[in-house]
Chain A
């Protein structure tokens, strides 16, 4: 225990004098608070936009006159994703996917994305997740890749091992000291970032924000520990600092950039999914066929008795309406299942790297992950069912053969009574992806064991 503390203390003293640590501290103190603050400001803009657009959407709907309703049977309602404050940590899908969907008679379609501000998409954005994912993983490796080889080349490794220190104690001390110097800038910058958010007006105690923050910090620490241990393992498997640097950077590149990005590539090849637009076209064609059949059925009833045909109109139309709704739902559901399968495979492949687990965990916890997106779409679909009941089913337009169009509305239709769209993001507990946390912990454990065993066999000559 005494030797462990002595080695850890020496590592800390050495790091404090190193340029690497100073650079990491400065970068962390600049990037983390700045990105949290900026993304929180973007959240506020999105929230204002979302509330305004949602209000206007309802106003437009409720302001429709009877004529407008009848002449616009293909009525659609815009709904907007309510942003969450924790998106300051990770922009997540909010930038990659629509935050706006259009609810229509036959389902939900993606709407145009909302621009918060003119962006340079070419360069991507910086958020807390990016800083940890790239910067801290890189420094994790840079602080540890030469931990053993440097001592070997300097000859101090022999001096240490000659002084009756267990090799496992040496490895543990190296980890303890090195990880402390890696975690310190992260924790300090994180706390400064939270302070910046508080100064920007965010009440940290609401909406489980503080709990989410603690979980995000925990996962980040596990992540950087894994990369530090990765560098330590490489250091125990190589004989020179140069070799350790080359191998460490190659492993880092693979783990952080190549593997997670290849995941979607693999999933797209293994489980291809047609575009949302293709599904929409398929749905439109299928619904047009049903509409045509409905028109023919109505025409047939009309031909039998032009005077009384309207009495049996609802009875004739009902099975076609059901079929249209079921067809639309089936096509949407099938597409969704294929998308989920593709995403599931991509996530599994991405989780082969600690980066995959970190991205999954932090975006879920920030409320900008796949679950939040799915929740938004599910809520939009539920809203579509409500609108269908309260609105779409009460307005009709029958296309009769020969070009005749008949329109009408149920007298019970009350636009004022049409409910507003609501969607609540998943709570902190339902956002908790224990599996990702467990994977990150498992990575650290496996890499630590690898480094310990490799150091036991390390040739110190």
Chain B
């Protein structure tokens, strides 16, 4: 379970990136964060991984406050970024081996890696290929493979389908649904309104560091999420 309690981040230059965010994402739930660039989506994820420290409030993973015990908290969460960054001179399997070992999984065999790589849809011939020749879609698949092998009960994804072709994006979302079915709590920041509506259990819209709207899948039934999103953006713009 992922929780944000009055989570606030103000940078040294005075910019308020996150303003008292309150949010709970349960196990087996996908929560999509929508919002323009600079709305606070990535800041939220950064705070859950201790990449930055909160100004006030708490980020909590499975009851463990991140700022108090970041290592224990991060053991319970996987991270997939917009551009999954890997070691170009290493093969897919070597990258998988490196990051899963760092996550404490030193017990996996080559066949275990191959199995996961097949599951995420990577072609067999790419398993032992250097990652520097991979397309973005292939890298994202590898990123989700790392997240799967970590076996963490929570997953945070930062615009993971951005720049993917429709087929690769759809495949990626299928994998995400599998993780949800395994009972993982998932937060995904995205600009893809349609995928958010199609796959999320709840959708939140962020603007200027605040969560200005949250709707469940049921509440969104029959609603035009894009129109809703644009309305919120306009309201906020006019208010500003």
Residues of A within 8 A of B (CB): 2-3, 6-7, 10, 13-14, 17, 154-156, 158-166, 459-461
In the complex the two chains form, what is the Cα distance from A263 to B78 in whole Å? 54
Say whether A6 contacts B85, CB under 8 Å: no
A-B contact pairs, 24 of them (CB 8 A): A2-B106, A3-B104, A7-B102, A13-B94, A154-B85, A155-B81, A155-B85, A156-B85, A156-B87, A158-B49, A158-B85, A159-B84, A159-B99, A160-B102, A161-B50, A162-B78, A162-B79, A163-B79, A163-B102, A163-B103, A164-B71, A164-B72, A461-B51, A461-B52
CB-based contact A2/B85 at 8 Å: no
- How distant is the Cα of A446 from the Cα of B4 in the complex, in angstroms? 39
The chain B residue sitting closest to A3, CB to CB, is B102
The answer to whether A161 touches B85 (Cβ under 8 A) is: no
Distance to closest chain A CB from B20 (angstroms): 21
User: A158-B79, A163-B99 provided; 18 other pairs, C-beta below 8 A?
Assistant: A2-B101, A2-B104, A3-B102, A6-B101, A10-B98, A154-B85, A156-B86, A158-B51, A159-B79, A159-B81, A159-B146, A160-B99, A162-B49, A162-B79, A163-B74, A164-B72, A461-B46, A461-B52
Question: Which of under 10, 10 to 19, 20 to 34, or 35 or more describes the interface residues of B?
Answer: 20 to 34
Nearest CB on A from B82, distance (A): 9
Q: Is B75 an interface residue (CB 8 A)?
A: yes
Residues of A close to B81: CB separation below 8 A: 155, 158-159
The distance in angstroms between the C-alpha atoms of A14 and B95, with both chains bound, is: 12
Query: How far, in whole Å, are A7 and B103 apart by their CA atoms in the complex?
Result: 12
Query: What is the bound-complex CA distance between A158 and B99, given in angstroms?
Result: 11
Contact A3 B101 (CB under 8 A): yes
State A21–B78 Cα separation when bound (angstroms): 34
Cβ-defined contact, A162 with B74, below 8 A = yes
Residue positions of B touching A, CB distance < 8 A: 46, 49-52, 71-72, 74-75, 77-79, 81, 83-87, 89-90, 94, 98-99, 101-104, 106, 146, 150
**A6, B51: Cβ atoms under 8 Å?**
no
Q: Which residues of A contact B52 (CB under 8 A)?
A: 459-461
B49 adjacent to A161 (CB under 8 Å):
yes
Which of B72, B84, B89, B150 is close to A163, meaning CB atoms less than 8 Å apart?
B150
Nearest CB of A to B21, in Å: 18
The distance from the CB of A36 to the nearest CB of chain B, in whole angstroms, is 35
Q: How far is the CA of A161 from the CA of B79 in the complex (A)?
A: 10
Q: Contact between B89 and A17 (Cβ–Cβ < 8 Å)? A: yes
Question: What chain B residues lie within 8 Å of A160 (beta carbons)?
Answer: 99, 102
When the two chains form the complex, which single residue of B51, B71, B87, B102 contacts A14, counting CB atoms closer than 8 Å? B87
In the complex, are the beta carbons of A6 and B102 less than 8 A apart?
yes
- Most B CB contacts (10 A, CB to CB) among A17, A158, A160, A163 go to A163
Closest chain A residue to B143 by CB distance? A159
Q: How far is the CA of A14 from the CA of B90 in the complex (A)?
A: 8
How distant is A155 from chain B, measured CB to nearest CB, in Å?
3
**For the complex, what is the distance from the CA of A156 to the CA of B83, rounded to whole Å?**
10
* B-side contacts of A3, CB under 8 Å: 101-102, 104
Contact of B102 among A17, A154, A165 (CB under 8 A): A165
Interchain nearest-CB distance for A394 vs B (Å): 80
* Most chain B CB within a 10 A radius of its CB, from A2, A14, A155, A159: A159
Contact A166 B71 (CB under 8 A): yes
Residues of B within 8 A of A2 (CB): 101, 104, 106
List, in ascending order, chain A residues with CB within 8 A of B79's CB: 158-159, 162-163
Q: Is the CB–CB distance between A164 and B104 below 8 Å?
A: yes
CB distance from B207 to the nearest CB of A (A): 21
B44 to chain A minimum Cβ distance, whole angstroms, is: 13
Q: Which residues of B contact A7 (CB under 8 A)?
A: 102
Which A residue's beta carbon lies closest to that of B90?
A13
**Least distance between A2 CB and chain B CB atoms (Å):** 6
- Complex Cα distance, B96 from A6, in Å, reads 12
Q: Are A155 and B83 in contact (CB under 8 A)?
A: yes
- Nearest A residue (CB) for B102: A163
Q: Within the assembled complex, what's the spacing in Å between the Cα atoms of A10 and B100?
A: 13
Closest A residue, CB atoms, query B99: A163
Q: Which residues of A contact B49 (CB under 8 A)?
A: 158, 161-162
| Complex Cα gap A164–B73 (Å) | 8
Residues of A within 8 A of B99 (CB): 159-160, 163
Give, as a whole number of angstroms, the nearest-CB distance from B85 to chain A: 3
What's the Cα separation between A6 and B52 when bound, in Å? 25
Interface centre among A155, A161, A164, A165 (most CB of B within 10 A): A164
B231 CB, min distance to chain A CBs, angstroms: 31
